[in-house]
Amino acid sequence: MKYSKSTILTMLCIVGILSIGVASMSGFSTSDTSETTASDDSSDDPFSKVMQVLTHKRCVNCHPAGDAPRQGEDSHIHYFDVARGEDGHGLEGYTCNTCHQDENNHYSGVPGAPHWGLAPRSMAWEGKTPVEIARQMMDPKRNGGRSHKDILEHLTEDALVLWAWNPGVDAEGNAREIPPVPKEEYIVAVKEWIEGGAIIPAQ
């Protein structure tokens, strides 16, 4: 109800929706995490493969630094003043599920996956380096008390995370970009990295 001229023009021209990223991180249990560092910056090691995915727009769009999701290939602020809300699933009368359902909608171009929503503020990845993201992700004080096992499951089994490899098409029918590492390769890399001690490079 507070549309500027430019916002309305944007709605008219770009109502194509919503390439939102992935990965809500809430509701976890115990932790057995402690940070370990090493100095491996190879781009082909498991850590780097994992981080090539986690820093991709399909993930970061819903791990924003602020209270608004980002969307699209250019990660612009989500149109229509969409906001985080108290639980990361939108506002009282206007939740994520008002538009986003459990699967992609190829008619409208609205993406969807189970429990569509934002990651908690403590798990904001936008603007952070891979090392910073990893430290944050493995820190039980910031990751909702998740253990290594919990993180492993979230990264490799959560339907919302894996949506990144099945992101559907936008309102114009254009396929959304998927992360640069194939899903199966990414899953193997996550397991190798975490089961190997979740060692985080020094930088």
64 and 121 in contact (C-beta within 8 Å)?
A: no
Residue 5 or 184: the one with the smaller Cβ distance to another protein is: 5
CB of 86 to another protein, least distance (A): 11
106 vs 141 by CB, closer to another protein = 106
What is the smallest separation between the CB atom of 126 and another protein, expressed in angstroms? Answer: 21
Q: Summarize as ranges the residues that interact with another protein (CB under 8 A).
A: 1-3, 8, 11, 15-18, 79-83, 91-95, 97-99, 101-103, 105-110, 171
Looking at the Cβ atoms of 3 and 40, the one nearer to another protein is 3
Residue 11 C-beta: closest distance to another protein, Å: 6
Q: Please name every residue paired with 169 in a beta bridge, in sequence order, or none if there are none.
A: 175
> Least distance (Å) from another protein to the CB of residue 149?
32
Angle at 131 between CA 127 and CA 133, to 5 degrees: 55
DSSP 38-98: E----TTSHHHHHHHHHTSHHHHTTS-SSSS-EETTTTEEPGGG----SSSSB-SSSBGGG
* Comparison of 68 and 131: residue with beta carbon closer to another protein: 68
CA separation, residue 144 to residues 130, 148, 195, 198 (Å): 19, 12, 20, 17
109 touches 102 (CB < 8 A): no
Least separation, in Å, of the C-beta of 115 and another protein?
14
Residue 46 or 72: the one with the smaller Cβ distance to another protein is: 72
Q: How far is CA 188 from CA 5, 45, 87, 191, in A?
A: 48, 11, 31, 5
